[in-house]
């Protein structure tokens, strides 16, 4: 029932107290007790944090920008939303935990796990065989499932949706894996190669899941059956609904709010005060339209602010061996969404096209 809340406390608590109390609160933990639990707990925490950071990166120029306060609020009773955004949050957190555990395993951080060499020696394709050290994603999947899915202990459609999205996140880690190969043969002729499967950068997992977010499917539960039914019927309705949806796809139950307006009791920060990008080298189309999306379409104006930044410059190398730099200040201009003057809300908008002076 409180999956995001616990993940959030994993993310937000910097140390050990919360973890040790959690050891006893996750009651359906399947492994051999608190010792095994603590072996992985810090990796789980780091993984959840990695997921949240990626979420912030992926949504930096979206109206919803993965605010941490919402992680907590959205889990309070009656406020458990199941939007596309919470779907992404579940998926990226689950993926982050699996990814980190898998990396830890490959680095030799755990005694009981190592490379996945189950295919070693087998022919993979034309002139290559499996070899080397494949990242052991099955291990990461296994452990992360026990931590992350265990947080979901309801049997309602919300729990089912969250578990589905956790799974989709873990599948994303697998789907983005890449084959790496090494050449062998007479004097590097590369007549034969050995290959192994490697995790991609976590960024690739984030990019992949962002696309899944954009294409997330809304579940239409069979409401008649749910209302009439006993809990077995209920589970049947949930199972039927899910059988039509691929395990790799994100699902949601509710439409998202437009995320323009601030409503803190719903955990919504609104876009007033947010920075947007108006100029700059190499902006993507998505970034270029950020002022339109965050400000204009939310009834806000774009305000330019000059901001002074300091950085090292004119560095010189002195014999021997120091580098001396000067501090240079630079004025950069940044753009933020700001409220329009009250009067402009009415018929007056077209006449206010020209820039108003602002601090």
Ligand X SMILES: *[C@@H]1O[C@H](CO)[C@@H](O)[C@H](O)[C@H]1NC(C)=O
Applying CB under 6 A, the residues found at the interface with ligand X are 30, 42-43, 46, 100, 103-104, 109, 138-139, 142, 263, 265-266, 281-282, 341, 343, 346-348
Q: Which is nearer to ligand X, 103 or 158 (CB)?
A: 103
Q: Which is nearer to ligand X, 3 or 104 (CB)?
A: 104
Query: What's the closest the beta carbon of residue 186 comes to ligand X, in angstroms?
Result: 38
90: part of which helix (H) or strand (E)? helix 84-106
Q: Which is nearer to ligand X, 191 or 356 (CB)?
A: 356
Query: What's the closest the beta carbon of residue 126 comes to ligand X, in angstroms?
Result: 29
Query: What's the closest the beta carbon of residue 325 comes to ligand X, in angstroms?
Result: 22
Query: What's the closest the beta carbon of residue 41 comes to ligand X, in angstroms?
Result: 9
Q: Which is nearer to ligand X, 78 or 188 (CB)?
A: 78
Q: Which is nearer to ligand X, 287 or 297 (CB)?
A: 287
Q: Which is nearer to ligand X, 16 or 192 (CB)?
A: 16
Query: What's the closest the beta carbon of residue 205 comes to ligand X, in angstroms?
Result: 14
Q: Which is nearer to ligand X, 250 or 267 (CB)?
A: 267
DSSP string, 232-268: HHHHHHHHHHHTTS-TTS-EESSPPP-S-S-BGGGTB
- Asked whether the bond before 251 is cis by omega within 30 degrees of 0, the reply is no
Query: What's the closest the beta carbon of residue 356 comes to ligand X, in angstroms?
Result: 8
Q: Which is nearer to ligand X, 96 or 213 (CB)?
A: 96
Nearest residue to ligand X, scored by beta-carbon proximity: 109
Query: What's the closest the beta carbon of residue 228 comes to ligand X, in angstroms?
Result: 29
Query: What's the closest the beta carbon of residue 280 comes to ligand X, in angstroms?
Result: 9
Both tokens of residue 351? 């006449």
């Amino acid at each position: 029932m409180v999956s995001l809340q616990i993940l959030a406390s994993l993310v937000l608590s910097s140390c050990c107290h919360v973890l040790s109390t959690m050891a006893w609160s996750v009651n359906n933990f399947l492994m051999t007790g608190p010792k095994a639990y603590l072996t992985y707990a810090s990796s789980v925490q780091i993984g959840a944090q990695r997921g949240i950071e990626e979420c912030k990166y992926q949504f930096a120029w979206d109206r919803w920008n993965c605010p941490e306060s919402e992680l907590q609020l959205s889990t309070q009773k009656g406020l458990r939303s199941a939007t596309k955004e919470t779907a992404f949050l579940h998926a990226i957190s689950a993926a982050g935990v699996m990814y980190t555990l898998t990396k830890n395993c490959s680095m030799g951080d755990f005694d009981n796990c190592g490379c996945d060499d189950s295919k070693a020696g087998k022919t993979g394709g034309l002139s290559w065989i499996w070899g080397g050290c494949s990242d052991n994603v099955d291990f990461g999947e296994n452990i992360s499932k026990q931590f992350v899915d265990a947080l979901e202990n309801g049997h309602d459609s919300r729990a089912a949706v969250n578990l589905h999205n956790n799974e989709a996140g873990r599948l994303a880690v697998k789907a983005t894996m890449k084959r790496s190969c090494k050449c062998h043969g007479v004097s590097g002729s590369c007549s034969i190669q050995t290959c192994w499967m490697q995790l991609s950068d976590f960024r690739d997992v984030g990019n992949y899941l962002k696309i899944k977010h954009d294409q997330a499917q809304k579940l239409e539960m069979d409401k008649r059956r749910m209302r009439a039914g006993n809990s077995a019927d209920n589970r049947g309705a949930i199972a039927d609904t899910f059988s039509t949806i691929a395990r790799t796809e994100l699902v949601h139950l509710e439409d998202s709010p437009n995320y323009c307006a601030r409503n803190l009791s719903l955990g919504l920060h609104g876009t007033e005060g947010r920075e947007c990008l108006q100029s700059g080298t190499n902006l993507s189309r998505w970034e270029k339209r950020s002022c339109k999306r965050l400000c204009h379409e939310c009834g806000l104006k774009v305000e330019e602010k000059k901001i002074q930044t300091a950085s090292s410059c004119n560095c010189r190398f002195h014999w021997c061996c120091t580098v001396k730099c000067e501090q240079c200040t630079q004025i950069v201009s940044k753009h933020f969404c700001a409220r329009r003057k009250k009067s402009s809300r009415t018929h007056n908008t077209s006449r206010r096209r020209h820039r108003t002076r602002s601090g």
